Structure 1
Amino acid sequence: MSDPLDLTHLRTLVVIAETGGFRRAADALHLSQPTVSQHIRMLERRLKLTLVEKDGRSSRFTADGERLVLEARKLLDAQDKVLAQFAGSAPLRITIGSTEHAADGLLTELLGVLRAAYPEAYLHFRIDRSTVLTESVVKGALDLAVVLGGNTVEPVGTAVGELGLRWVAGPGWQLPPAPGPISLVAFEEPCGLRRRAAHKLSELGYDVAVTAESGNLDGVLAAAKAGLGIALLPFLTAPPRGVVHIHELPAMGAIDVRLVARRGLGHDLEATAVEAITTHYRAIAGRRLRGVA
């Protein structure tokens, strides 16, 4: 009798297919990326087949890999049905994503509300970019995600608040006269804020050059603090220490914050999250109107 396939390794394979990559699968499974890679290598050695191959800087499934994903889903579904019949009810697990911009002050309140509403639930939070989080919700790897609007043609999810946009740079940065070159620091593409900033600066007559980019907020802020250029960023309150608001450039208004829910998620859970988040942003807006920091 042949050695059986490891269902844990098969589940890793399926999650890679559902989330679109090794790193995202590692996040969804709460494993390290090397562990995820090892699971695939062990499957390949067991089957003597190449399941995933390099494709430039990313990777893709081979024809054998795609066939195995289909068969693995059947095996895992069968296992889940058996467990559902003979095991006790599993504890509720709620996975929530948030952008770095929206997470400030929000996640603590959201955690408290959800724990009160679902005391037996296991809550897991993930911080990432809006585009990645939205994709993870669509693929079912996240239940809920708090994201920024403006990254898709059609708005996604439910509007729950907004963040003010500000031009920020290091304290010694000077706005050059148009039509000279201007340095922009921004998030890596795809990024709606980056496109919005570049478009406005071009409208003002500047020759825009992205001189620094990062996949996370800390990296963009570090580049701005170092004087590498100007950034357009959303803030709930005042910009953090180390950057200043550049008032010489036109105001850019605000960007909406939206809650995206996984298809099939219970209405009560989604409604509870929407109410908690809108209450949070409403309270912040009220304090600003009253002049309270």
Structure 2
Amino acid sequence: MARNLDLTALRAFVTVVDVGGVTRAAGLLHLSQSAVSMQLKRLEESVGTALFDRSGRSLDLTAEGEQLLSYARRMLELNDTIWAKLTDDTLEGEITLGVPHDIVLPALPPVLHQFNTEFPRMKITLISSFTRALKEEFTRGNCDVILTTEDAGEGNGETLCTLPMTWVGAPGGKAWRQRPVRLAFEERCKFRPGVQAALDAAGIPWEMAVTSEMSRTIDATVIADLAIHARLAGTQMEPLEPIDHGGALPDLSTNHVNLYVAESLRGAPAEALLRMLRQAYAALGQGITPTHAPGQWPQPRPVVTTTLPVDLRERRSS
């Protein structure tokens, strides 16, 4: 039958070793000397071996005591970490994160899931908008952290990854074969002018099949094979898929995913969130689907909603 070690006794044992005696340990633990000595005796009885060599004047560890000391330190460190995370009021608060809607998936949901697991009392408010609007919100101080999609040399953010633009369409779709090519883009999408310019340079006629403020409208049009679209590689979600056009469409530009952090953002939760964002988008740039843990995270859903346990509120910025 499994038996449990007494963490209080382990803490007394480690403290005695660290300070070199029972008397000083008792003062640090706010216990009497006899209470500390009793805890050491109970610990030795529970493991069935002597932990100290008491043949001399000093308390020297036996071989078994040295082995236990290593385990005891790790057990106490884990105990203290758990206790701090679940009880420390300083880990309460809110971080406002801005992310362009076209790079929310698939990288961001695993980040939010992991962050909530580590900091369940923190709240993330997600602003989903275009890069230009997010930079304006950041300048006004309305966002603590933003991600952007920018050309090389544009802005001064930290580049997390570089992604090429790719043509996307309906599964097995034929819209890309039509001339003029029918396009579907949001009105303020920064990729739209570049895509049109690339088609012009290639001498391929085009027309706008649909213009909308909502990405869902664009996706619906493309899924229906009424038009084609362009996304950063790795960010398109099923059923959209890259178009295997065999050179019939021009190559498109590459873009950086950049990170901007407010100088006022400090603390362990902020550092953890930034670390997670860096890892997730670096993996996206390497063509790796970001996951919370291998085999543990399901495929991202196409909508981020308020049902996430991070107490997440999504709102679109004008």
- Tell me if TM exceeds 0.5: yes
Please give the alpha-carbon distance, in whole angstroms, between the structure 2 residues aligned to 1:156 and 1:222: 35
Of 197, 200, 220, the residue aligned with 1:199 is 197
Q: Which residue of 1 aligns with 2:147?
A: 146
Question: Shift in Å at residue 155 of structure 1?
Answer: 2.0
Deviation readout 1:149-192 (Å, 9 max, x if unpaired): 24x9832422112334211233131424xxx6332211212x32
Please give the alpha-carbon distance, in whole angstroms, between the structure 2 residues aligned to 1:252 and 1:271: 35
Contact 1:169 1:246 (C-alpha < 8 Å) held by counterparts? no
Q: Which runs of 5+ in 1 are unaligned?
A: 1-87
Contact 1:129 1:216 (C-alpha < 8 Å) held by counterparts? no
Question: Shift in Å at residue 195 of structure 1?
Answer: 0.9
Contact 1:100 1:129 (C-alpha < 8 Å) held by counterparts? yes
Please give the alpha-carbon distance, in whole angstroms, between the structure 2 residues aligned to 1:157 and 1:270: 17
Please give the alpha-carbon distance, in whole angstroms, between the structure 2 residues aligned to 1:216 and 1:159: 27
Question: Counterpart amino acid of 2:195?
Answer: A
Aligned residues: 197
Q: What's the TM-score, normalizing by structure 2? A: 0.52
Please give the alpha-carbon distance, in whole angstroms, between the structure 2 residues aligned to 1:208 and 1:267: 50
Q: Which residue of 2 aligns with 1:100?
A: 101
Q: Which residue of 2 aligns with 1:265?
A: 265
- Kindly report structure 1 stretches of 4+ aligned residues shifted beyond 6 Å: none
Q: Which residue of 1 aligns with 2:83?
A: none
Question: Counterpart amino acid of 1:159?
Answer: T
Q: Which residue of 1 aligns with 2:276?
A: 276
Contact 1:147 1:257 (C-alpha < 8 Å) held by counterparts? yes
Q: Please tell me whether residue 160 in structure 1 is matched to residue 128 in structure 2.
A: no
Please give the alpha-carbon distance, in whole angstroms, between the structure 1 residues aligned to 2:174 and 2:127: 35
Q: Please tell me whether residue 220 in structure 1 is matched to residue 221 in structure 2.
A: no
Please give the alpha-carbon distance, in whole angstroms, between the structure 2 residues aligned to 1:263 and 1:101: 26
SS of match in other structure, 2:191? helix
Contact 1:138 1:262 (C-alpha < 8 Å) held by counterparts? no
Q: Which residue of 2 aligns with 1:68?
A: none
SS of match in other structure, 1:108? helix
Question: Shift in Å at residue 197 of structure 1?
Answer: 0.1
Contact 1:163 1:254 (C-alpha < 8 Å) held by counterparts? yes
Q: Which runs of 5+ in 2 are unaligned?
A: 1-88, 290-298, 300-318
Q: Which residue of 2 aligns with 1:71?
A: none
Please give the alpha-carbon distance, in whole angstroms, between the structure 1 residues aligned to 2:237 and 2:94: 35
Of 257-266 and 138-147, the range deviating more from structure 2 = 257-266
Please give the alpha-carbon distance, in whole angstroms, between the structure 2 residues aligned to 1:238 and 1:91: 34
Q: Which residue of 2 aligns with 1:183?
A: 182
Alignment of 1:236-247 (within 5 A): 236=234, 240-247=238-245
Distance 1:188 1:199, change over 3 A: same
Question: Shift in Å at residue 269 of structure 1?
Answer: 6.2
Contact 2:160 2:278 (C-alpha < 8 Å) held by counterparts? yes
Question: Shift in Å at residue 244 of structure 1?
Answer: 4.9
Please give the alpha-carbon distance, in whole angstroms, between the structure 2 residues aligned to 1:104 and 1:174: 24
Contact 1:261 1:270 (C-alpha < 8 Å) held by counterparts? no
Of 216, 230, 234, the residue aligned with 1:232 is 230
Q: What's the TM-score, normalizing by structure 1? A: 0.56
State the identity as a percent.
Answer: 19
Structure (1 or 2) with the larger CA radius of gyration: 2
How large is the RMSD of aligned CA atoms in angstroms?
Answer: 3.3
Contact 1:162 1:281 (C-alpha < 8 Å) held by counterparts? no
Please give the alpha-carbon distance, in whole angstroms, between the structure 2 residues aligned to 1:271 and 1:231: 36
Distance 1:275 1:229, change over 3 A: same
